[in-house]
Structure formats: C-alpha cells, structure tokens
Structure 1
Amino acid sequence: MLGDLYLTSESQAPKLKLALLVDDLHLQAVFAEAIDHIRASSFAEIVLVVRNGAPASGKSGSASLASRAAKFVRSPKLRHAIVYALYVKFDAWRTYKADLDPTRLVDCSQRLAGVEEIRVVPEQNGAVHRFPQAAIDAIRARDIDVIVRFGFNILKGDILTAARYGIWSFHHGDNDFYRGLPPYMWELLEDNPRCGAILQILGDDLDNGLVLAKGQYASEGGLSLFRNRIAPYWGSVHFLIWKLKELHERGFAFLQARAVPPAPYRGLRRLYGKPRNREMLGWLWRMLKRKVPDRFPRRALHWMTAIRRRTAEPALRPAARTADLSGFRFIMAPNGHFYADPFLFAHEGRTFLFLEDFSYAESRGDIAVMDVTDEVPDTARICLSTGSHLSYPFVFSHDGAIYMIPESLAAGEVALYRAEVFPDRWVKTHVLFRGAVVDTTPWFENGVWYFFVTFIVPGTEAVALHLFIADGLTEPWRPHPASPLSHDVRDARGAGRLFRQNGGLFRPAQDCSGTYGRAIRVFQVDALTPDTYAEHFVLEVGPDAVPDFADRPAEGIHTYDDAGGFEVIDAKFKLPVGSF
C-alpha cells in the first residue's frame, strides 16, 4: 500500500509522540492500518490512548426485532430515515466483501498493548464533546506532538490545543461540498462523479480546519454505498503517515506551506444528515430506471484508436488552450479485440504505432505494432506478450538503443524492455520498480531521469500520481521532493508522453471522474528540476471533441501522442453488442 512509501525519515530528530482518541479498541479497518503504519515507522510512536469513558449509547445486539421496530416508530428522526436504514442493510448484504470493507471493526488491543491508557468522560452538549480540564492537563503533561482522532464526537474547547501540533482527523467527504453524514451517500444521491477525503487539523469551525492533505476519487455512480466508499477510505488512509513523515523531516511550517488552500463551502446543504424516506425512494426509482436497461444491454463500451497525418497545427494546442481533432481516422481491430493506449515512434524514416491489443475472450492485453508510414495495415502484429496483461507501451530511445516500458500492473512491476530486433523482438533487461503502479511515463532532461507513475490502491480505483528521479535509466529510483503530485482522479493518470510546444513543456493526464478515461487534461510544467516541480492546468479535451464513429458520439478519450509526422488518440464508443 501507499503507506509503505513513508515509513522512514531522514531526520535524526526525536520520534514524534502521538496520542490516539478512541471510543473503543475495536477500530475501523482503515484506522487499524493507520496504526500499523505508525508502528512500522522509524519516526513516530504511540505513547497514549485516550479512551471515551462515556456509557455506550449505541445499539444493543440482544434487542429483539420488535423492540427495534418500536424504537423506529417512536422516534420521528429514525422513522423518517427508515428507508435509508433498510437500504444500508441490504446493500451490505448484496455487495459485502470483508477484506475490502474499510469500516469493519478490527480488534486493535494487541496493536496497542503496553501503551498507556486514560479514560475520559467528555462533557456532552448534543453532538459536541468537551474535555474536562483535568483530562486536558493530563494529556499536556505527556508532551504530545500530535493527537490523532479515531473516536469521540465533534470536539470543542481547549482539547484542540492540548498537543503541540493539534488534533489530526480524517473527514470522509469533500469538505468544500459535504459536511455532515453519512459519508459518500449524498455523492450518490446528487450524482456527483467524485468523492473527496481529507486529513485536517481540527479547529473551532466544523470541517473547516487546516487541510493537510486532500484526495478526489471516482464515485461508484451506481446503487452501492458500500462500493462508493472503498476508494476514498482506502485511498486516503496513508495521508496520516505521509504527513507525519513530513512533519518529522521538514517541520510544521512546511506542512502549513503545503496545506490545501481554503475554499468557500459550496454544498447544497449547510449540514447533511441521513436521507429522508422520500429522498431515498426518489433516488432509488431514478437509479432503477437507469440500471434496468443495463441488465439487457444492446450496446457496450468499446475502445478504438484513431490516427491522422500531422497538419500545420497539432491536434492539441495547450499553449493556445484549443484543440482540433478533425481528420482522425479510426483503426479497426480484429473482431473480439480493441486497440487502445497508442504510442508513436519514428525510426530510420519510418513511423511505427505501438498499442494495446486487448482480447475480450482472454481479458488480457498484449502489445502490438504496425508500420503506418505509407498506410494503416489491416491489423497490428503482436510484438510483446508475457502471459499477463500489458498496456501503455511507452517506446523511446536512449544512448543508441530503443526501449519500451509497458504498463504491467498484473505482474506488480515496472519493467524495462530493449528492442533486440526492432520493432518485433523485445527482451526484458531490468525491473525498475516493484509495486501496484500503472502508466509509467519517463522524461529525460539535463542528465536526470524523471518517472511519473500512478499508484493504484489494490482492490480499489484510488489513484495517486508520484514522481521519482534517477541518475541513470537503470539506476535506483528515489522520490522527488515534490512527490506525491496528485491524489485527484481528474489528473493522477498519464495520458501519453510529455511534449514540448511553443517553448513550453506539457503533461497530458486522464480525467477518470464519472467514467474511466472520460477526458484528457493538459498541464503546463512550470518547473522541473531534481528539487522542484510545479504545473498548472491549461486545457481539457473531452469526448465531444472526438469525431463520431458509426454515427455514434464518443464517450471518452484518454491517450494522445505525436511523432514521425502523425498523431494518434484513442476513444471509447457505445456500440451495438456483437459489432466488435
């Protein structure tokens, strides 16, 4: 997982002393993993557990069905949310996978064995908890650096300043749009293509503290709350160890300087709560009308690659913030296959197109190639097959040799291949990196190799863009000081090689919000050195810019390349089942 990248600090400073706020030693699975990160780190230790001593107000497992039903009937608040309660039960039963459930309870007593524990009965006023002064004094006496909130309710008062660097807390939701509960339900009801998650330092204003880290994840877009929360919960769990490492190595001023800038709250409600019966029934009806046709599909999504000869003006013109995709011709893959992830390479006066040749029957991609200099052949020929899925064939030259770095997530590695006989025979020479990464995009400048790689949290669609540097093509990677670059599903995956245009350097990225490969977003690189990286957004190219195919509009676009007098893109279309 991503947390493994942050377990070692280069600073010789004393270990950070942490306190945990918990209701019980049975914690959510994501919090258990966060504790594992801390215990495995070289720079932080848990020295205190502050346990909620208030009587449990929750559910009684021994209560009869009749008594629970009576409780719903008597309470207007519960009665108005009974459809939501039934939906949650059914959804968990329908989609439950224990190992993916981020909120399942995990016994952490062994993880926290030997750690000092104090119990605090908070002063309660509705959902607000205030700590007694004696408890605050006891916590301050332990000289705590950071308090991590894994329990209690909304915290107010002097407890917020009881640790040197405050109380750090996850908020599962985009705090610019969603404040309140339940996490990730309203994103479904409001048809939001993205779900957010933040790590913040708590302040007096609810969900309006200093945001240390923020991620944006693709919304499930269907009927399942269970599936909708998997990516943001698991995709953000490493935020805690990441920011603790930065605190230890670089100090609190560094965290403040890199904090997420505050933005006005734009939620449709001041504070969200459980959806009422009418809201749930209306949403379920809309979703069922949308989903029923998918049970008997007449059309399905199919990726296609398109090519055109380079004109005076390139298809993507980020410096001018415009794009023109007219003139592209689609390449037909054999029946039962699709072509995607196209890359061009010019060699000895010829232009070759490398792409992913995906077989529906085998549910696997191989790398294929075709010479497109004179005309597009009927089909591409396979040039690299490993028995596991390959895609994103990044082909480049260096020091007189031709190399390829394909995406090989299925093998859990970033492998470097050298052309033994170009373009048809490739030999693996090095494994550059091991991990759950995709779309490795190298860039060589001033004697330094830069590797843009996208980490995917296993079992989820959560992505994070990281930048590594190396002194040679096959030398060990080390994290760039600016890494990670993005936890945003709109720009954390590569959409092709970096390119120069009108004196600027540009990075194309995939926007996978709403649907995988929805659009290409282009960023201008403002600074790229071994010590600095900066970029800003300049252009979005969506499916509406893609030429129609078979009188059908495109549903997405996610790769662009330009070399050897040609340009290529790929796009997906909803086509009749059986036509491909």
Structure 2
Amino acid sequence: MRVGIRLEQAGCAEWVARLIGDLAADPRFTLAWIGRETDPSLLSHAAGYAAWDRARVAEAPDPLDHVSFEALLQRHPALSGAAGKSGQAPADALDVVLDFGAGRAPFPAARFGVWSFRLGGGRLLEAGEFGVAELLRGATFCQLDLVWEGGEGGPVVLSRTFGPVNDASLWRTRAPAVWKARAIAMRTLADLARLGPDAFFARALARNGRQVPQPHPPISVMGMRCLRAKLVFRRLLAPYRVVREQWRVGVRVRPPAGAPDAPWGSAAWARGFRFVEAPFDRFYADPFLFEHEGRTWLFVEDWDWKVGKAIISAAPLAEDGTLGAMVPALERPYHLSNPLIFADGGEIYMIPETMAARQVEVYRCLAFPGRWELVCTPLTDLDIADACVLRTSAGWLMLASIAYEGGLGWDELHVFNADALCGPWTADPDNPVVSDVRTARPGGRMWEKDGRLFRLAQDSAGRYGSGLGLFEVTREASGAYRQEPVATLRSFDFAMNGVHAYDSAGRFEVVDGRHYQLALGRWRAYWPLPRWLGRR
C-alpha cells in the first residue's frame, strides 16, 4: 500500500516522526510521498500555557517535541527520495494520504482519500488548541476521530476512540491522545489492507457513521485566564504535596436467602458496605473473594507506600464480615495487583496483574493461602493489565487492557481465546474491541448466568478508577465483540471519590474505594474535598 504524508510547514511532532518510522519499517506499506504545507500554522492563545505545562510535567519520550523536516529526513534517510515533491503526484499513485497539517493545501490523488485526526473537532497541530476546550469546560474524557473527509455522501469516521482528560494538565491530556493516534493510524491502515476497501469502509460507516464534531471556537485570552484560575482552584482542593490517594476495601454481608435486598448498584445497596482502613503505611485495593474449606477469604493488592509497590495479601472473613489477620500470599520483585483467584480441575489458580513484568503469569496454589508456584506465562512482551479469564463452553476466554506505547493502559480492551489455560492464546482480529476510557479496562471477574456473559469495566474518565460499570457481553452476527450496559456503580454512593473493583462469593460482596488522605509524617487524616466540586 502506497502512503503519502502531509506535514506542517516547520515539520512535525515526535509522535508523527515515530509513526513515519513505523510505516517505513512495515513491509506492507511504502512511503511514496512526503510534503509540507506552504503556510505556517497559526499560534494560539494557549501556546504559552502549553509550553509552561510541558516544561513542568512532560516525561521522556515527549510525543510533542518538535522535529524539523530536515531532522526527520536525517532520522530516516531512505525517505529522502519521497520528500520535497510539492506538485501533484500522478493519478492513482497513492492509496492513502495522512494529513498532519491544517488541511489547507491541495493534496495528491489517493485512491482511498486523505485521512486526518480530530480531537474534539480540532486538528492535532503542534501549535493548536486541541484538548484546551475539554479542560476549560471540565470534561472528563475527549473524543479522538480519524476522518476521511472525501467520502461519497460526506465524511466517514474511520476510527473513533475516547480517552481521559487530566483535569490538572494539558500535556497529560494531549500526550496519551497523540500516542494513541500513532497506534490508530497503523491499525487502521492494516485493517484496510486486511479487509479490503469495500468491507473496510462498510464497517467504518456501520460502527462510527459520518458525524464529525465541529471545531471549538478559538480560545480567547479571557478563556485562558479562566482556565488558569480553575487549575489553581483545583490545586487548593487537593494539594498533592500533602494529600495522597488512599484505597480501602469495603465488605457487605448479603441478607439471608429470601430476605429483601436493595437492587445491585443502587445507592441503598452501596450504603451497606463497611470499609476497612489499611495500616497507615499501606492501602488495600483490587479485592477478590474465594471460598476454601468452609471459609471465605479476601485477596487484595497490598500496597506499601515506603517500597512503592504491592504484594498480594489475604485474610479470612468472619460471619459478620469482619476482616481477620492479613497475611502475605504472593510476592515478586515487581508490583502485583488484581489477584484473580479461581478453581479449575481440582486446582486453585491465581492470575495477578504483572504489568511491571510485561507478561501474564499463571500461579497454582501449593498450600492455601500463602504458597504458589508459577505454572506458565501464556502472554509475554505486552504491557497488559487486569487480565481476566473464564472457562466457557467454547474454551477459555481472556479480557485484558493493553497499553499502546506511551499509553496509560486504561482505555483499550483486548480479547484472547484458548483451548487451555496456559494457551496458546489467540488474539481477536478486531483488537482492541473497545477503545473507550469509560468502559474498557476490567474491574473484576467475569461470570456466566443463565447462558449470559457479564463483565465489569472501570470508568477512568477524568481520573483512574473513577467508577465501575456492569456489562453484558454478546457477539454480533459477524462475530464482532459487543457489550451492553446493565448497571453503574457511582463512587459518591459509597462516600468515596473512586471505585474500580467488585467481587462476590457466597454471602459476601466486596468493592474498593478511593478517598483522599492528608499525610504528614505518621499523622493521617481524611481529606474531605474531591479533586473538583461535583466531580468524581
């Protein structure tokens, strides 16, 4: 497939330079044309704040670093033959043109059109305002579209995804979005090559339609003053030099069989949880329950603030839901969390999250609850989070969140299938099947009921672990993954600022909740204000 690139006059951002490198290294694609706009991009009123914010919080590699056109050619010398062609390319010489400029200049002919990205309706220009309007209006998520504007009948949204908005930083909002744009461009081009143009465009229309958000009005000087004032106010609400996020586990005892109970997910149901505070130097999160020899055990991520990582710990639950002594269950040199524990074939297994090791690890219990052996690592070399498995009538199913390079690991869900727990696992060809920070990352185990499959998903719009949703998983006639919302857990119903995991076993239900804690030396106090008034 022959691909053309249109850049801004001065060059491009680092994420675009890396995308060009991806295309150049992929044998499926040929970079046949690289051109630049003739006019410079306009500087916005947000440029000063954007530069200050980048200097304050940017992390390497910074996807927004500027790369000049000359430096780009030095980085990829093989592209020099495709560069500098300012005239029209021959008819049908290109298949796709990726436009990273303002869209003003004429483009060479391309069989499948000119594609460009929009975030909230605005182009991803180096000196542009993308992401600023979302911060200004207090949005918790942003919409990123890859658009073909020249389609018959109007524009076609080729890909649509929803990412987080960091309410305290423009760079931390933009960086994950542009890293994702890099991944989306490669995926979408690969889908076009794999499916063929007819099936590819038909699928894009069916999934995303033609509606493209209109660009926001230019940000005024007064608008930027308002944004700065809001950011200062948020810092006062949660001064992070002395206030930290503290997770704890809540336990609920279900009423006896036949007794009335509040609907699952309702405010009345949420008020029935009793939260357990961890020792002052730790927090507990990601609760899972397991029944063993007549007792129900709670497994948690046991985070140590001094060490800066977590182990898996376990404690028995008394009949009234009181938590017994917490004991270490599994420790590794790297961070562990999300201890999915289950029984199969007479054995007890645990799959903790081991994203720090970039793999999925399956452990078998040797002596409950504290001795485990590593059985296999069925997936490796992946930034994979919260892998959740279930044996179904069709075999083993895994849902997990996988982070693209530079991503946060919150907003894309991948599906894998296998005949055995240790694999080999096969990725769904449509991965990621969900690309939405509100509904992607798993928030607990899956289960089947009356032939229906249910899953829990974290809502990390605005902030990681802001809420939790329950979904029914189905398949379309084409075999494509589909999930329908069933219920939502609101963190404020638990008197918390976040909730991102749920589990149940027998008479017990557990969730985790986040609040803010004032930490001064060994002195701790509950911080009553959320990050933003009325927001999760």
TM over 0.5: yes
Aligned to 2:532: none
Structure 1 residues 293-351: Cα deviation after superposition (integer angstroms, max 9, x where no partner): 54487754321101122335777648xx9982232222232221111100011223221
Cα distance in 1 between the residues matched to 2:299 and 2:415: 25
C-alpha contact (below 8 Å) 2:465/2:499 kept by paired residues: yes
Match of 2:18 among 24, 33, 37: 33
Cα distance in 1 between the residues matched to 2:395 and 2:480: 13
Structure 1 residues 359-378: Cα deviation after superposition (integer angstroms, max 9, x where no partner): 11212111011121545344
Q: Does 1:153 align with 2:103?
A: yes
C-alpha contact (below 8 Å) 2:316/2:325 kept by paired residues: no
Cα distance in 2 between the residues matched to 1:380 and 1:486: 36
Aligned to 2:534: none
| Residues 458 and 243 of structure 1: CA distance in aligned 2, closer, same or farther (over 3 Å) | closer
Q: Does 1:387 align with 2:333?
A: yes
Aligned to 1:446: 393
C-alpha contact (below 8 Å) 2:413/2:434 kept by paired residues: yes
Q: Which amino acid aligns with 1:203?
A: G
Aligned to 1:17: 2
Aligned to 1:565: 507
Structure 1 residues 451-508: Cα deviation after superposition (integer angstroms, max 9, x where no partner): 1110124554253111111121112222113421111110111110112346532111
| Residues 390 and 315 of structure 1: CA distance in aligned 2, closer, same or farther (over 3 Å) | farther
| Residues 316 and 491 of structure 1: CA distance in aligned 2, closer, same or farther (over 3 Å) | farther
C-alpha contact (below 8 Å) 1:215/1:236 kept by paired residues: no
Cα distance in 1 between the residues matched to 2:263 and 2:202: 34
Cα distance in 1 between the residues matched to 2:222 and 2:100: 33
Aligned to 2:516: 574
1:512 Cα deviation after fit: 0.5
Match of 1:488 among 425, 436, 439: 436
Aligned to 1:44: 29
Structure 2 residue matching 1:154: 3-state secondary structure:
coil
1:429 Cα deviation after fit: 1.5
Cα distance in 1 between the residues matched to 2:124 and 2:8: 24
Q: Which amino acid aligns with 1:536?
A: E
Cα distance in 2 between the residues matched to 1:460 and 1:316: 36
Q: List alignment gaps of at least 5 residues for structure 2.
A: 526-536
1:450 Cα deviation after fit: 1.3
C-alpha contact (below 8 Å) 1:353/1:372 kept by paired residues: yes
C-alpha contact (below 8 Å) 1:393/1:404 kept by paired residues: yes
| Residues 470 and 502 of structure 1: CA distance in aligned 2, closer, same or farther (over 3 Å) | closer
What percent identity do the matched residue pairs reach?
27
Q: Which amino acid aligns with 2:144?
A: A
Cα distance in 2 between the residues matched to 1:532 and 1:101: 32
Aligned to 2:528: none
Q: Which amino acid aligns with 1:149?
A: D
- Counterparts of 1:274-313 in structure 2, within 5 Å, are 274-292=218-236, 294-295=238-239, 300-311=244-255, 312=257
C-alpha contact (below 8 Å) 2:147/2:158 kept by paired residues: yes
Cα distance in 1 between the residues matched to 2:56 and 2:373: 46
Aligned to 2:531: none
| Residues 395 and 530 of structure 1: CA distance in aligned 2, closer, same or farther (over 3 Å) | farther
C-alpha contact (below 8 Å) 1:356/1:366 kept by paired residues: yes
Aligned to 1:341: 286
Q: List alignment gaps of at least 5 residues for structure 1.
A: 1-15, 59-76, 122-134, 547-552
Query: Which structure's CA Rg is the greater one?
Result: 1
Aligned to 1:108: 72
| Residues 522 and 246 of structure 1: CA distance in aligned 2, closer, same or farther (over 3 Å) | same
Structure 1 residues 90-122: Cα deviation after superposition (integer angstroms, max 9, x where no partner): 33333344512334316331426256436565x
Structure 1 residues 422-449: Cα deviation after superposition (integer angstroms, max 9, x where no partner): 2210111111212111100112112411
Cα distance in 2 between the residues matched to 1:494 and 1:340: 14
Q: Does 1:536 align with 2:480?
A: no
Cα distance in 1 between the residues matched to 2:274 and 2:476: 35
Structure-2-length-normalised TM-score: 0.86
Q: Which amino acid aligns with 1:381?
A: V
Aligned to 1:506: 454
1:382 Cα deviation after fit: 0.7
1:357 Cα deviation after fit: 0.9
Aligned to 2:419: 471
| Residues 353 and 203 of structure 1: CA distance in aligned 2, closer, same or farther (over 3 Å) | same
Count of aligned positions: 510
Aligned to 1:132: none
Q: Does 1:183 align with 2:130?
A: yes
1:526 Cα deviation after fit: 2.1
1:25 Cα deviation after fit: 8.8
- Counterparts of 1:418-433 in structure 2, within 5 Å, are 418-433=364-379
1:392 Cα deviation after fit: 0.2
Match of 1:140 among 82, 91, 112: 91
1:176 Cα deviation after fit: 10
Cα distance in 2 between the residues matched to 1:282 and 1:53: 33
Cα distance in 2 between the residues matched to 1:279 and 1:446: 56
Q: Which amino acid aligns with 1:394?
A: L
Cα distance in 1 between the residues matched to 2:301 and 2:155: 45
Structure-1-length-normalised TM-score: 0.80
Cα distance in 1 between the residues matched to 2:59 and 2:502: 37
Cα distance in 2 between the residues matched to 1:301 and 1:511: 17
Cα distance in 1 between the residues matched to 2:284 and 2:498: 14
Q: CA RMSD in A?
A: 3.2
Q: Which amino acid aligns with 2:54?
A: A
Structure 1 residues 236-266: Cα deviation after superposition (integer angstroms, max 9, x where no partner): 311111112211121123322332433766x
